[in-house]
Amino acid sequence: MTDRTIIRAVAADEARARVPELADVLVDCVEGGASVSFMAPLARATAEAFWRGVADGVAAGERCLVVAEEGAGGRILGTVQLVIGQPENQPHRADVSKMLVSRHARRRGLGLALMRAVEDAARAAGKTLLVLDTASPDAERLYGRSGWVRVGSIPGYALLPDGRPCDTTFFFKRIEAPSGR
């Protein structure tokens, strides 16, 4: 991460305006083999439709979208989402989803910075339990170092973008709600 890197949540209108950049990050990650719900080759129209749906979720208050960018309004280097719209019997919980960092921006601490920001967003939303899953050994190490608890792995749970089955590991983390809640 450089001094110019900014990590921040974006509103729905900005997310809609930046769909092409967000699609660039998603396409790059899928081309790099990331198992993030999409198969290769990922059509640009599919990636853009996904991000429009995310923007709609942000507008509805069901998601928070956090980006890492090169300076204010600069190129998006990575993203993570907090899915806060949960069933009524789970108001304390949120899912961390689609932590993506462009291949050219990896190994700079962006993943850790994005995770800290999404945890802060969860606290601000009054959430006290977070869950996520990953098919990446690198991400597993990051989550473990960040205090997430590994629950276990399910063999062949998803497919890599090239169609090969991959194991998926599930994690959780308890966080404190901000004082006064």
User: Residue 12, SS3?
Assistant: helix
Residue 44 resides in a domain: yes
Domain count, the chain: 1
Instruction: Give the pLDDT of residue 177.
Output: 73
In the structure encoding, which two tokens stand for residue 113, read together?
Answer: 């910075």
- Does residue 179 sit within a domain? no
Q: Looking at the domain assignment, is residue 145 inside a domain?
A: yes
Q: Sign of the CA dihedral 114, 120, 126, 131?
A: positive
pLDDT in tens, 17-66: 999 999 999 999 999 999 999 999 999 999 999 999 999 999 999 999 99
d(CA 70, CA 45): 25
> Looking at residue 13, which CATH number applies to its domain?
3.40.630.30
Determine, yes or no, domain membership for 30: yes
The whole-model pTM stands at: 0.95
Sheet of strand 165-174: strand arrangement: 5-10, 63-70, 76-83, 93-101, 129-134, 165-174, 149-159
181 is a domain residue: no
d(C-alpha 110, C-alpha 172), whole Å: 20
Query: Which residues of the chain fall below pLDDT 50?
Result: none
| Per-residue pLDDT, 72 | 82
Element (H, E) at 7: strand 5-10
Torsional sign, CA 114, 58, 176, 71: positive
Spatial CB neighbours of 81, under 8 Å, sequence gap ≥ 6: 54, 63, 64, 65, 66, 96, 97, 98, 118
C-alpha distance across the termini of the chain, in Å: 33
pLDDT at 180: 59
Let me know if residue 138 belongs to a domain.
yes
Residue 130 lies in a domain: yes
Among residues 76, 71, 8, 86, the alpha carbon closest in space to that of 47 is found at 76
- The parent domain of residue 82 ranges over 5-174
DSSP code of residue 96: E
Residue 98: inside a domain: yes
